[in-house]
Amino acid sequence: MYDERQIQFENRGERLYGFLHLPIQPGPHPAIALLHGFGGNHIEPHALFPKAARAFAAAGVATLRFDFRGSGDSEGDFTNVTLTSEREDAHQALTFLASQPEIDGDRIGVGGLSLGGLIAACTAGADPRVRALFLWAAVAQLGELFQEGTTPERASEISTLGFTDLGGLQVGRGLVEEALSTDPVAALTGFAGPVLVAHGSGDETVPVEHAHRYNAALGDRAQLVILDGADHVFSSLAWEQELIDHTARFLESNL
């Protein structure tokens, strides 16, 4: 049903690791880059990313899932992770995809979960190679979420040390500063293609209102799917299957 291979590519001298899933039939194939969330990796909870990548490949769409620099198996220090660094990694991932002989470089998309959705939106708005975009529980305004969770003690720590300990992740000042100035919804004014916006109504990490912001800004270009009761990472067999099925149909129709 699909061919799965380990891959690596580089950005700024650091190696990024991941997996490329290819349909078993002859190419060239349409392809997407799948972007993980904050502190996540190329697998994500309950193996959501491998399950999705294999389903997409079986449906005829190649999928690259990888770790951003500073995350998962990839090289780099998480303290240096910023929204800019992750956008650069996403652009490099698309370049890697387009360079593969099995991939049709004119039929490339991008999608992401949570913070990966924010990065996907910014990437689609800036990279003309992107033809289709999907957003899973995507953050529409990271600065708001940071401000809601920042105590005076944490703000002081960032100011004096240049980083803060967030659940064992050493989050640098650069990421916090960029969170306040980055608007992925506005970035999508540079993207004219179709967008799937999927979110759980029970998401307590990134409220479903973020999905409605994207949908309102995109108008007729957006397909909004709200999964009743689903949490932030769609953690039930029914929710993940519904999410994957919606996305596979979207990709088959738009790439």
All structural domains of the chain, each given as residue ranges with its CATH number in brackets, are 2-141+184-254 (3.40.50.1820), 143-182 (no CATH)
Report how far residue 171's alpha carbon sits from residue 167's, in angstroms, rounded to the nearest whole number: 10
Q: Where are the alpha helices (DSSP H) in the chain?
A: 48-58, 83-99, 115-126, 142-148, 152-161, 173-181, 184-187, 209-218, 237-254
Any idea which of 112-116, 141-145, 232-236 has the lowest mean pLDDT? Answer: 141-145
Collapsed DSSP state (helix, strand, coil) of residue 68: coil
Report pLDDT for 151: 67
The pTM score is 0.95
Report how far residue 214's alpha carbon sits from residue 207's, in angstroms, rounded to the nearest whole number: 12
Summarised one tens digit per residue, pLDDT across range 48-87 is 999 999 999 999 999 999 999 999 999 999 999 999 999 9
Q: What is the number of other CB atoms lying within 10 angstroms of the CB of residue 52?
A: 24
Report how far residue 62's alpha carbon sits from residue 58's, in angstroms, rounded to the nearest whole number: 9
The DSSP H or E segment spanning 200 is strand 195-200
Return left, alpha or beta for 176; rule: phi > 0 is left, psi -120 to 50 is alpha, else beta: alpha
- Mean pLDDT, range 183-204, rounded to an integer: 96
